Amino acid sequence: DQQVKQNSPSLSVQEGRISILNCDYTNSMFDYFLWYKKYPAEGPTFLISISSIKDKNEDGRFTVFLNKSAKHLSLHIVPSQPGDSAVYFCAAHIIQSTDKLIFGTGTRLQVFP
């Protein structure tokens, strides 16, 4: 029972264009969502988060959008840079529970020149 789903295992985008990574969830109790970025042979690093009381959060080139009715969130990266090439994990948790993150399976983003 995959509660957080990233249906696109990979995405290839040209440098300078927009990258859009998608994530769907099934548990309506989730109230906090995060994106982590992972390079090979390294641990995930936090990128950006959003609370369920918001529908958008922006940090520089990164924006996360949340559509609660559709149980869908997306990460937009614009403009995309070659250094953004990594695996991106969507994660969710329930604030009232222990701080356990539920991760998606990841999307491998490749930004080419």
Partner 1 sequence: NAGVMQNPRHLVRRRGQEARLRCSPMKGHSHVYWYRQLPEEGLKFMVYLQKENIIDESGMPKERFSAEFPKEGPSILRIQQVVRGDSAAYFCASSPRGQPNEKLFFGSGTQLSVL
Find the part of the chain contacting partner 1 (CB under 8 A) among 14-22, 61-69, 77-85, 92-100.
92-100
- Residue 75 tokens read as 């990460």
Nearer to partner 1 by C-beta: 18 or 95? 95
CA distance 76 to 57: 10
By CB under 8 A, tell whether 1 contacts partner 1.
Answer: no
Q: Give the E-state strand segments of 6-81 in sequence order.
A: 10-14, 19-25, 32-38, 45-51, 56-59, 62-67, 72-77
With CB under 8 A as the contact rule, the residue among 73, 89, 92, 109 that binds partner 1 is: 89
Find the part of the chain contacting partner 1 (CB under 8 A) among 14-22, 58-66, 76-84, 91-99.
91-99
> Does residue 17 contact residue 77 with C-beta atoms inside 8 Å?
no
SS3 77: strand
By CB under 8 A, tell whether 4 contacts partner 1.
Answer: yes
CA distance 9 to 48: 20
Taking CB under 8 A as the criterion, which residues in 10-49 touch partner 1? 32, 34, 36, 41-46, 49
Binding site for partner 1 (CB under 8 A): 4, 6, 32, 34, 36, 41-46, 49, 51, 89, 93, 95-96, 98-106
